[in-house]
Amino acid sequence: MAKILLYYKYVTISHPQEIVAWQKALCAALDLKGRILIAKEGINGTLGGSADSLEIYKKTMLAHPLFKKIDFKENDGDIAYFPRLRVVERNEIVTMGVDPEKITAQQSGKHLTPRQAHKFLQSKPDDLVILDTRNQVESAIGTFKDAITPPLQHFRDYPAFIDQNLDTFKNKQVFMFCTGGVRCERASAYLKSKGVTKEVYQLEGGIHRYIEQFPDGFFRGKNYVFDGRIAVKANDDILGKCALCPAACDEYNNCLNADCNKHFICCDACVVKYNYTCGSTCFELVKNNQVRLRPLYRKTSINASNELREKTIMNTQTTSHQQQPSPRLIQENIPLKDKNWFQTGGPARYFAEPTNAQEFAQALDFARTQQLPIFVLGQGANILISDEGFDGLVIRPQLTQITHVIHNDEVLVHAGAGVTMDALIEYCLTHNILGLEEFSGIPGTVGGSVYINLHYFQFLLEQFLLDAQVINHLDSTVKNVTPAWFNFGYNQSTLLAQEYYLISATFRLKKATDLEVAFARGRRVEIIRHRAARYPNKNTCGSFFRNFYPEEVAEFIAGTDKKLIFVAYYLDKIGVKGVLSVGDAVVSHQHANMLVNKGNATSTDLITLARTMQELVQKQFGIVPQPECQLVGFKECPLL
């Protein structure tokens, strides 16, 4: 399991460059990524890596005479949040812009533990001033009740703010806080040096430690952090407001226009309405292809040669399927609740996990002999299974081989139907191959992704598909097909008819330089960060309803001749997000088109909730959302 580690220590370091070299070697040996700032006044680090590696790192640090008694703060996380390691020497470990020899951490205010601070705030003396030492971006989505939130752009603006507002702190007790405590060490010392306060206190361990003990305490909202997570939720309070409309919101986004790159709060409805841009100006620039998209990303068309195709694509073949399936292949009465993201549904009457095309054919033969319906299961990310289960054969392919062939700038990547998209993307980046990283963070297998023509904004999986192998459920023959055979559309392909099932696919991608891969990894981190922050990542199927077709709606996107087809827009308007529920089935507070099982919901609960949403949209707009989520095992469609 990956972890995120935060720490700092103010301690005199006589030779910072030696510590820099040591830290680089130590982190490289442990495969840790992140940022470490080292100065003569101390060390300040944020690292990501495996739990075992970080445990070794901590023990090594604590054994060093300079770094004993460091307060390490840990969170579960993803190594993708840290694309590289950066260890640098600085004048200050947090830039306040004041000589660290004149204002030192040894002059800091009195430390209050989270429990002491909580008790102090409960008593709230009449002469108490609560001061947020962070910048406006951070305080906009979370802060302590009744705190002063200075209009700081950077921490180096803090001294000027104090100098200009000394009367605010005159004869007062001041309680200040920051993310993890490092800024308050010298911030409190600077305020004390002015000699106007009764007393200066600082929160030991910062917001991070406080919300661990008091998630529903005096701190409200989210704690902004400086890695791919962007923010850590403390409680359900939403302090921020969308920059593009009056909606309450606390999700940050960066403008898709790379020349703008504005970091701003934006609600889901405005994200889809303005396509990840900060407003109408950038929206038009992006729409008309007048600017670079953030980050720099280029997609190159590749013309594969016949020689490469012959090396990579297997010839059309007929698989021998007269053998009886092995006892291991076909299992009975297997639970499906633990095999789908909703974590609901009954068992499969029969279940098979073929590891090659021959076993896949044997499973199909068994279903034909027994006259059983068939359902092919991937990661279970876009399905809802009936509480009664599936009265037939569920096939979950375990064809997980990945190979590739490179010729000049042409790359053909061949992947089995059971390969997860995340594993495929990581394989490609590891081998300096680009193209599929736009689909980062979307759960699913190659089989399921081709089945629905996986999409992320303007990117469609069909754009990269060169060839595929499919197996016919009537006679178990395997044949090669081209992209045209799939008749792709939005959430559409020939596979939806379930006459053929995917065995493998070959993607036509681009060979890349190390620099291009670095850009792509940065993009991957940003996409994963965005999905983790904006969408629920467990006990959900993702988007439950598909977007509307243009002919189904009458409303247009502001300032354009394009129809407003985004179903999330209409669901936001009816006010169901985070509010509507049936038992433990709820509409996510993060996204109005995502239903979540809070723990004990049944599939019936989720269906009732979805149908209620359909009825509300129909009543207000005269249109009915249709499911993108595949309904499995239901005897008849339970929705409108």
Active-site residue, 249 included: no
- 246 preceded by a cis bond (ω within 30 of 0): no
User: Among positive and negative, which fits the CA dihedral 339, 342, 344, 349?
Assistant: negative
Q: What is the four-CA torsion angle of 68, 72, 78, 84, rounded to 10 degrees? A: -40
d(CA 437, CA 66): 42
Nearest to 178 by CA among 210, 218, 146, 217: 210
Give SS3 for 38.
strand
Nearest to 539 by CA among 318, 273, 268, 344: 344
> How is 506-571 classified by DSSP, letter by letter?
EEEEEE--HHHHHHHHHHHHHHHHHHHHHS--SSS-SBSBPPPPGGG---B-TTSSSB---HHHHH
Listed in sequence order, the residues at least 6 apart from 352 whose beta carbon sits closer than 8 Å to its beta carbon are 325, 329, 330, 331, 359, 363, 366, 393, 394, 395, 396
d(CA 496, CA 481): 15
Catalytic annotation, pick one of 27, 178, 255, 629: 178
Beta carbons within 10 angstroms of residue 168's beta carbon: 14
Cα angle, residue 635 at apex, residues 631 and 640 outer, rounded to 5°: 60
Nearest to 231 by CA among 255, 196, 207: 207
> How is 390-441 classified by DSSP, letter by letter?
EEEEEE------EEEEEETTEEEEEEETTSBHHHHHHHHHHTTEES-GGGTT
How large is the greatest C-alpha to C-alpha distance in the chain, in angstroms? 91
d(CA 594, CA 542): 6
| Exposure on the CB side of residue 299, measured as CA atoms within 13 A | 11
d(CA 427, CA 443): 16
- 53: tokens are 């590696």
Contact 530, 522 (CB under 8 A): no
Residue 376: strand pairing partners? 395
User: Among positive and negative, which fits the CA dihedral 374, 417, 509, 537?
Assistant: positive
CA 473 to chain centroid: 36
Q: At what angle do helices 206-213 and 114-123 cross, to 10 degrees?
A: 80
Q: Where are the beta strands (DSSP E) in 431-484?
A: 433-434, 455-456, 459-460, 465-472, 477-481
Q: State the burial class of residue 377 (Cβ atoms within 10 Å of its Cβ: 0-12, 13-18, 19+).
A: buried
Catalytically active residues are 178
